Amino acid sequence: MHWSEQVWVRALRGRRGQPLGLLLLVTFLGVGLAPDVLGLAALRLAGFDAYQRWAPRARRSAPAVIVAIDEESLRLHGQWPWPRTWLARLVGLLAEAHPAAIGIDLVMPEADRLSPGRVPEFVPGMGPSLVRELAKLPSNDAVLAQALSGRPVVLGVAGLERDPGRPAQPLRQAPLRTIGGDPRRFVPRYEATLRSVEEIDRVAKGHGLLNFEAERGVVRRMPLVAAAGDAVLPSFGVEILRVATGAPLLTVRVGASGVEGVGISGLLVPTEPDGSVRLRFSRTDPSRFVSAADVLAGTADLHVFERKLVLIGVTALGLSDYQATPVTERMSGVEIHAQLLESIFDGDLLSRPRAAAWAEAAVLLLAGLGLVLVVPRLAVRASVAAFALLVGLMGAGGFLAYLHRGVLFDAALPSLALGALFTAMLVVTLAEAESQRQILRRSIEQQREQAARVAGELEAARRIQMSSLPQPTAVFPNETRLDLYAFLEPAREVGGDLYDFFALDRDRVFFLIGDVSGKGVPGSLFMAVSKALYKSAALRQARQVETVMREANAEISRDNAAGLFVTVLAGILDTRTGLLEYCNAGHEPPYLLPSGERPILRLADGGGPPLCAVDCFPYTASSRHLEPGDTLCLVTDGVTEAAGAGGELYGRERLEVLLAKTGPGTSAADVGDAIRQEVGRFTEGVEPSDDLAILVVRWKGPSPGEG
């Protein structure tokens, strides 16, 4: 069996492959609504990342400036960590520029080892007085605390996955108010927090979580709030905004399905249910950065910090936490915080509303149904174009939604699903076409084979029939007393007509015409057998036609397994005396066309049923003296039942009219040809359904030599 005709292929293919297409479509819809099952979410995220790479966010208001502790700073000021007095100086310098807020992207959980009082620990050989003097000096932490206090400074807090078992710091009430429910069950959760030493932490105006979580190695989202222990903490960025606006509290709005947004002094930032926002990144921009070295050296233009959100962070390679983002492989953590501030400021965050997922499913459903319906009906090239158009439209739609609405519509997964669906439909359609070709090929083969077989069989039947028929000129080459015409036209499916004539002795001629009640090879075989048996019976029982008939009936019946019968009209004409004996076994009666006065005669007397119809039927013969020139005309029902174009039969009446018109002295051949021609005209354009046989016997009288 050809592969395209396997049962399961056919079941999936249905009439046009729709069962398979619909099955795949349902599968893809399921996968599309729950893409994590097959790890396809990565593909979706890659699609979203592609949007950002093609069209990164444009920086507009640039609210944040980063003071970067960069390579240059380290080169000038030495190794990190610096004494906190330097950080204090940096903050002091920046504060003079009246920034809206200063965020320090650092956690300083231990006391500064470089404080004067601790110098003897790592500088041996100091005298006791020097040690005492040093101990009197304020610690570096105190200096930093002094610098921070009273200034709008936000310190970083690190969320820890695991409680390190450090001595607990006093809980600081987070400046958060929740509306509508408890956000803790929705937001990211940390077991503990790591804060700066109490001395510093205490004086900061705000504290924000520095953590961001990478999805599959790429930072795309930033939590605005998270749970740490029992508390809910704001993230670094929103805390900077709160401090900058001077708002006492942040509001966390919680709905039934999760966090809905975080309010900062009248501005509500909508969030994902887990309290995070999807960042829309711009590319790394050097104009965001001012080197800490320049600030410390007094060479930086301090005006750039005025009324800005200033972020102090480490960007020096090897020290900073670099993260991969959609727009770049490496972005320092502090810049990511700056990106968040810019995004919030410009209202340029991304969102993926629940409706987006349903829209994707709906688009996939419609486009998929379209493909399922259209692909089997289109040429391959057209269906490829249709598929490409659909994918192009989805991609363009997704990109436009991103560009103008900041909505993340996933075109990648539906495209992939459509691609798989399209491929499957194409394969199935091609399989269907292939299968059709196979069926067609086979049916043509069968038809040819059938035609050849039938042609062979019909040809065989025709040969059997025709080869057993004698020709008058061959049988009676020198017969002057007899004028004989014989004609047989087999139908396409041979009907088993027969005729025969032979000499019984010097004077007597035996003739017969017959019709077997069967067609094709069986009919022609039976015809040939009947004719042979009849002839042998005639030659053995040469005396009387009725005994020949009885004998033939017995013999033919003996070998008649097929249950056929044969009508026969047989006669013996004595060409010397003109005595005609005839016997009719169920055949059309012969016509006598007298040489002189008309009308013609129908010799319907005597006889019996067809041979083989009744066993041992006592056939009786009739006899008649012919006049010289009398003509006998014998036909089969191929003549009387020849059907014309309208379905009408030629009929006996027409035949009789025709025969009546033949004048005395018309030769046997002319009578026969007249019948043939008229029947031919009558049946013009109609395929004959039965054989047509004509036998015309004209007695010309005793030969002159004997008369």
Partner 1 sequence: MDLTPKRYADTVVLATAGRIDHSTSEGFKTALAPHLARCTAGQDRILIDLAGVEYISSVGLRVLMLASKQAKAQGGTIGVAALQPDVKEIFDITRFTMVLNVFPSVREGLAQLSPPALAAFDAT
Binding site residues, partner 1, CB under 8 A = 515, 517-519, 563-565, 567, 584-589, 607-610, 612-614, 617, 637, 689
Counting DSSP H helices and E strands in the chain, the numbers are: 21, 30
Identity of the residue, 567 or 575, whose beta carbon is nearer to partner 1 in the bound complex: 567
Give CA–CA dist 320/678, Å, rounded: 114
Choice between 56 and 586, CB closer to partner 1: 586
* Smallest separation (angstroms) from partner 1 to the CB of 666: 26
Q: Which is nearer to partner 1, 112 or 515 (CB)?
A: 515
Q: Residue 649 gets which letter from DSSP?
A: B
Q: Which residues contact 466 (CB under 8 A, 6 or more apart)?
A: 488, 490
Residue in 38, 37, 48 with CA at minimum distance from that of residue 218: 48
3-state SS assignment for residue 109: coil
Question: Phi/psi class of residue 327: alpha, beta or left (left: φ > 0; alpha: ψ in -120 to 50)?
Answer: alpha
The DSSP-derived string for 172-221 is ---SEEEESS-GGGTS-EESEEE---HHHHTT-SEEEE----EETTEE-E
Contacts of 57 (CB under 8 A, 6+ apart): 280, 281, 282, 339, 342, 343, 346, 348
Residue closest to 194 by CA, chosen among 149, 162, 239, 237 = 162
> In 62-121, which ranges are E strands?
64-69, 101-104
State which residue, 165 or 563, has the beta carbon closest to partner 1. Answer: 563
What's the min distance (Å) between Cβ of 495 and partner 1? 9
Q: How far apart are CA 348 and CA 703, in angstroms?
A: 129
Tell me the three state secondary structure of residue 644: coil
Nearer to partner 1, 416 or 570 (CB): 570
Instruction: Give residues with Cβ within 8 angstroms of 370, minimum separation 6.
Output: 386, 390
Between 243 and 603, CB nearer to partner 1:
603
β-pairing verdict for 176-179 and 153-160: unpaired
- Residue 425 or residue 585: which is nearer to partner 1 going by CB? 585
Smallest CA-to-CA distance from 236 within 302, 312, 290 is with 312
The answer to whether the CB of 225 falls within 8 A of the CB of 183 is yes
Q: Which is nearer to partner 1, 278 or 587 (CB)?
A: 587
Of 143 and 564, CB closest to partner 1 = 564
Q: How far is the CB of 488 from partner 1 (least distance, A)?
A: 17
Measure the CA–CA gap between 161 and 108, rounded to whole angstroms. Answer: 18
Rounded to a whole number of angstroms, the minimum distance from the CB of residue 692 to partner 1 is 14
Question: Which residue type, as a one-letter code, is found at position 152?
Answer: P
Element (H, E) at 371: helix 354-374
Reported residue count of the chain is 707
Name which of 282 and 567 has its Cβ closer to partner 1. Answer: 567
Q: What are phi and psi of 625, to 5 degrees?
A: -90, 125
Q: What is the smallest separation between the CB atom of 609 and partner 1, expressed in angstroms?
A: 4
In the complex, what is the shortest distance from the CB of residue 452 to partner 1, in angstroms, rounded to a whole number?
A: 23
Instruction: Identify which of residues 309 and 527 has a Cβ nearer to partner 1 in the complex.
Output: 527
CB of 440 or CB of 454, closer to partner 1: 454
- Specify the DSSP class assigned to residue 511: E
Contact 686, 645 (CB under 8 A): yes
- Cα dihedral across residues 32, 34, 38, 44: positive or negative: positive
Q: What's the chain's Rg over C-alpha atoms? A: 57
- 152 versus 608: smaller Cβ distance to partner 1: 608
Helix (H, G, I), strand (E, B) or coil at 264: strand
Residue 156, CB half-sphere, CA atoms under 13 Å: how many? Answer: 20
Considering the complex, state which of residue 73 and residue 567 has its C-beta at the smaller distance from partner 1: 567
Q: Residue 218 or 562: which CB sits closer to partner 1?
A: 562
DSSP string, 136-157: HSPPHHHHHHHHHTTS-EEEEE
Q: Which tokens in the block code for residue 403? A: 């560009």
For partner 1, the closer of residues 14 and 522 by Cβ is 522
Q: 56: closest CA among 284, 293, 215, 209?
A: 284
The CA distance from 583 to 608, in Å, is: 8
